[in-house]
Amino acid sequence: MNMNKIKKIYLKELLELYRDKRTLFSTILLPIILYPLIFIGASSLMQRQTQKLQEETKVVALENFDVQNYENQETIDLITNIRNGLELDENIKIYPDSTELDSLIKDGTIHAIVRLDSISTSQPNSYYFQFRYDRSDDKAEMALKELKKHMSKFEKDLLHVRVNKLSGKELDDSFLNPFHEEEVNLASSQQMMGMIMGRFLPYLLIMLLITGGAVVATDLVAGEKERKTLETLLVSAVSRNEIVVGKFLTIVTASLVNVVVNMASMYFSFKHLLSQSGVSAIGANIPVSAFVWILLSLLPVVLFFSAVLLIISTYSRNMKEARSYESPIIMVSMMLAMISMFPGFEMNIGIAFIPVINIALLFKEIMLSGVNYLHFGVTVGSTILLNIIAIYMTIKVFNTENVLFRTQTETSFKGLKKNKFQLINPGMGMLLYFVAILLMYYIGFSWQREGFVDGKVVQSKLMLGLVKSQILLLGLPVLLLVRTLYAKKKDEIQNTLFGGPAGFLRYNKTKVVNFLLIPIATIPALVIAAWLTKLVDLLFPIPENQFGALVDLMSGQDAPLHILILVIAVVPAIFEEALFRGLLPRFFEKKGVWLSIIATGVMFAIFHLDVYKIIPISLLGIWLGYLLYSTKSIFSPMLAHFLNNAVGILLAQSFIPLEMINKYLEGTNVMSISVLIAAIAIFVGVNALIYKINNGFEKIEEVN
């Protein structure tokens, strides 16, 4: 590549970008104006409104406070003291009536009700008060706070009277208040600023980085497609690689400028916010070293999202389509970046490998306690690895003619009658997958929750919920969709693509030797999965109760073993495989067999909605996909899936002694390491033999 040509493309795009006054205003001037208005103005407005609420009169009602209804002198004195004390508060007005109080709360006539609910007959008396208010009303919430403050004082006065009666003399207040507390904040102004900015800065920076880069990336390729100027650039003397690198650097530069300007404006706004909150802002400056470390850790993230956004823009036919693809990226990143706002989340080696979350918590760590070089290295290193993949894909997409100039194809349900098999594409596959997740989440889990009564597992109800979920939410939709694709006369079915519904789902005969080799490979697969689970537990400690319900289901005595195997092993092996190895691979395999295997394997893991099991279940899903394409039959992954679940049941039922398993798997001694190495060797060897016996992967038919 010619660096001089790349420079010309880069400068051309920058000039066009910042020549637009709207871009200058939105990326540079707006942040400088906006953040002081948001932080300083909002803070001042909040303080003023809080003070206004405190000064406004709150109307409260006293229920069962009529002294004529009581004979005990202490009770009469207490009621009188409470009424007199509240009347002395100029911000509280006592409502004179005591009927239909709840309706008066709803229409805002009164803000809170104090009811003397009951009095204990034991000596000394105990008084039970009930507070009723509308929590959605800010004024009512403020009234409750003031009432509780007064009630605390009245309680202390009553205690004072009781103690004086018991002792026979007037005691000093220190008798009831022996503790005198004083809070001293040892955190410096800089640490306080770091605490505040450490929670919000990562989220804001990541969001600004993505949204700012998305605006530029959308215009650079998708925008040029709309304006019909991309073709002119492509026929120039500049190569495609030089064009894509120049555009990529433009997005990176614009994102960095946007982030730095926003960061500077936020810094001064936060500093003013600290001073408004009563914390001295003197010396509250971000150290130059911290600023440098944040920028260094930010650069790989900028490169990554710039590449991703450029891929989206290149793939999209127009700016509208690009924005629709960018929305999920922004939403997911937003949710991951919010982790910095949650208390108790701290950086560790495991989190350092998770995209977006690692950067958010690294920023927070730098702001609060400085740089941990190990965390910094792992975070930046893992992000750089993602960058290499993303940049490679960017260049490849930009050099792929049928992607760069993608034409409109009919993939909607409207075009189903014309050519149903046009729907067999990755986009439609992802849509069906998300529908399956939503069905399982909203309907399937509600069926399964019926098996939990008062915190205990009712096996019969839980198993019924599992069976209903598998058959009605997984199996039935697959059957209906395939029958829709093959809605033809019976004599025509066998002549259609993939040989009819059975062929489409690969319900094909396979060699008997496959059913002998798969059980041999299952045990080492389970050993490898167990080691992966140990690795996950090391990086992200798994809660002890994480697998409690499943273990209780598999080890309980309420159901015989054959019923457990039927529900937990046979049913999922049939219906989950129908979806993940029967239907979904057809939507991805046109892009490549390995893409289909890996994509459906990871989707299979995510479908279980258990973050701690994603890695081992992904391994299982990828292996099941490998078996599908090697043996050309769905019966092979069904058998492997069944054996995996059945072994889990046998372990839970103690048919296989756990002591023996732990002896060979726990720890890092020579024996356990040897078992792992042997398992990997056997697993690889058996699967290589399956591949060879079946003459390699199935040849994928072209879908027209």
What amino acid is encoded at 683 in this protein?
Answer: F
Q: Which of 176, 247, 225 is nearest to 8 (CA)?
A: 247
420-434 in b/e form (b: 16+ CB < 10 A) is bebbbbbeebeebbe
pLDDT > 70 in the chain, percent: 80
At 257, list the tokens.
């400028």
pLDDT at res. 604: 94
Lowest mean pLDDT among 123-127, 429-433, 623-627: 123-127
pLDDT at res. 546: 56
Q: Is the pLDDT of residue 76 over 70?
A: yes
Q: Which of 305, 294, 303 is nearest to 207 (CA)?
A: 305
pLDDT at res. 669: 66
Calculate the CA 589 to chain-centre distance: 28
pLDDT at res. 398: 86
Cα distance between residue 461 and residue 480, in whole Å: 27
pLDDT at res. 554: 65
Q: Give Cβ neighbours of residue 323 (< 8 Å, ≥ 6 apart).
A: 214, 218
What's the average model confidence in pLDDT over 143-153? 89
Q: Which of 404, 427, 374, 419 is nearest to 314 (CA)?
A: 404
Phi first, then psi: what are they for 170, rounded to 5°?
-75, 120
What's the average model confidence in pLDDT over 277-301? 67
- Tell me the pLDDT tens digit for each residue of 155-201: 888 888 888 887 777 767 667 677 777 777 766 666 666 676 777 77
More confident residue, 489 or 226: 226
Q: Give Cβ neighbours of residue 414 (< 8 Å, ≥ 6 apart).
A: none
First to last CA, the chain: 38
Cα distance between residue 541 and residue 141, in whole Å: 40
- Tell me the pLDDT tens digit for each residue of 77-99: 889 999 999 988 888 999 887 77
At 278, list the tokens.
């009563």
Q: Which helix (H) or strand (E) holds 118?
A: strand 112-119
pLDDT > 90 in the chain, percent: 17
Do 593 and 696 contact (CB within 8 A), yes or no?
no
Do 291 and 341 contact (CB within 8 A), yes or no?
no
Q: Which of 177, 175, 151, 162 is nearest to 123 (CA)?
A: 162
What's the average model confidence in pLDDT over 660-673? 65
Phi first, then psi: what are they for 482, rounded to 5°?
-65, -40
At 426, list the tokens.
């990755």
Cα distance between residue 473 and residue 465, in whole Å: 11
**Count of C-beta atoms within a 10 Å radius of residue 333:** 22
pLDDT at res. 161: 84
- Tell me the pLDDT tens digit for each residue of 446-469: 888 887 776 676 778 888 888 999
- Tell me the pLDDT tens digit for each residue of 349-376: 878 888 888 888 888 888 777 788 898 8
Q: Is the pLDDT of residue 551 over 70?
A: no
Helix %, strand %, coil % for the chain, to 5?
A: 75, 5, 25
